[in-house]
Amino acid sequence: MRLGNRLRAVMACLLILGIALLNAGCGCSVTHIIDQATVTVRGLAAANEIGQKANQGYDVRPARSKWMEALEAYNQGDFGRADRLIDEVYRILPTLELVAERVFYPSSGGLTVSGLLFRPPEGEGPWPTVIVNHAGFGTAGDFADVALLIRDRGYLVFNPDYRGSGESQGRHEGAKGEVDDVIAALDYLESRGLVSRGKVGMYGQSHGAAIAVLAAERDPRVRAVVAEAGFYDAADLYRNARESSDPSVRALLDQFVPMVGGTPEEVPQEYAVRSALNYVNDMHAATLIIHGAKDPLCPVDQAYRLYEALKAAGKTVEIKVYPQEAHCVNDPAGRLEVWELMFAWFEKYIR
């Protein structure tokens, strides 16, 4: 998930800092710095291999768990233990179980897109189905752990690589063509006889949350949505990034504006079609909105506005806001609670 990307970024920054200190001739131990740099490089390489395995459809949870232990030791300055734990990661990688099928299917614009299909461990199907929409501009494998959590509850789970992601054709469109891709995924799964009619849900985080809500507004087959840290007004997302003093938030403009084709003033309709708030009357799914009150990227006001709009339209909707969280819920206790809320939501509306 996004957390993994941030952790790898932190480790890279620590490597750069260590090299800078060495070059500056500070009073730190040279051996200590070299050890730290070596462990950093090995840790990043291990993280990349875990990501590759996840995108190939393997259950990477044992390797990822050991890598997290290594990161904890690294952050405590115990580079020897971190190095030994990385060795354990490499011993685990060849033993991982293949748990997902890589599939390809057609979508709009003549594109072939892809994703990972996770079947429940028991039964022949059809099954109640959940589509897991990954965050940002990553890949289906980034959310493989989430898919397995849901699969282990008896659901068929599909993680799409939207256009421009993973092994899919096309380019990122910032929650426009990606909506076509997840609806096309549902068509594909139904054509294979895998989906229980009337029992389809979607989970999405950030970019994936926007896609999930927009898809549920367009397709009545989607009966339940859990949307975490999403944007539901694309023009306000742009304005928030433009006015932010946070460089990481402002960097969103460099990605989002080219996808959309301009600013809200230049191409207002392009922002409108990416904004779920414009289509609440068409919502077909019971919607659970989860958001952090301190989210700098997708301000919590977006979540409250979607909640109020769906409620005013007579739709089934609930909201859970975490006062101390930012973009996505990262506190371990809160994270577990989010999963339990998600399980309960799907159990209620698509079982």
pLDDT given at position 124: 85
pLDDT given at position 35: 74
Helix, strand, coil content of the chain in percent (nearest 5)? 55, 15, 30
Token pair listed for 194 = 């895998």
Q: What is the dihedral of CA 195, 200, 205, 210, to 10 degrees?
A: 110
pLDDT given at position 20: 32
pLDDT tens-place string over residues 17-76: 333 323 333 333 333 443 788 999 999 999 999 999 999 999 999 999 999 999 999 999
The one-letter amino acid code at 33 reads I
Q: Helix 144-151 to helix 332-350 angle, to the nearest 10 degrees?
A: 50
Provide the mean pLDDT of the chain.
Answer: 90
The one-letter amino acid code at 220 reads P
pLDDT given at position 8: 41
Q: What is the dihedral of CA 17, 22, 28, 31, to 10 degrees?
A: 110
pLDDT tens-place string over residues 122-179: 888 899 999 999 998 889 999 999 999 999 999 999 999 999 999 999 999 999 999 9
Look at the block and give the residue holding tokens 């079982």: 351
pLDDT tens-place string over residues 86-134: 999 999 999 999 999 999 999 999 999 999 999 998 888 899 999 999 9
Distant-in-sequence, close-in-space partners of 31: CB < 8 Å, separation ≥ 6: none
> In the chain, what percentage of residues exceed pLDDT 70?
90
pLDDT given at position 205: 97
267-272-276 Cα angle (round to 5): 155
Distance CA 208, CA 205 (A): 5
pLDDT given at position 125: 86
Distance CA 278, CA 238 (A): 16
Domain ranges for the chain? 2-95, 101-350
pLDDT given at position 201: 98
Quick one: CATH architecture of 101-350? 3-Layer(aba) Sandwich (3.40)
Q: What is the pTM of this model?
A: 0.88
Where residue 237 falls among pLDDT bands split at 50, 70, 90? Answer: very high
Residue 274 in contact with residue 234, Cβ under 8 Å?
A: yes
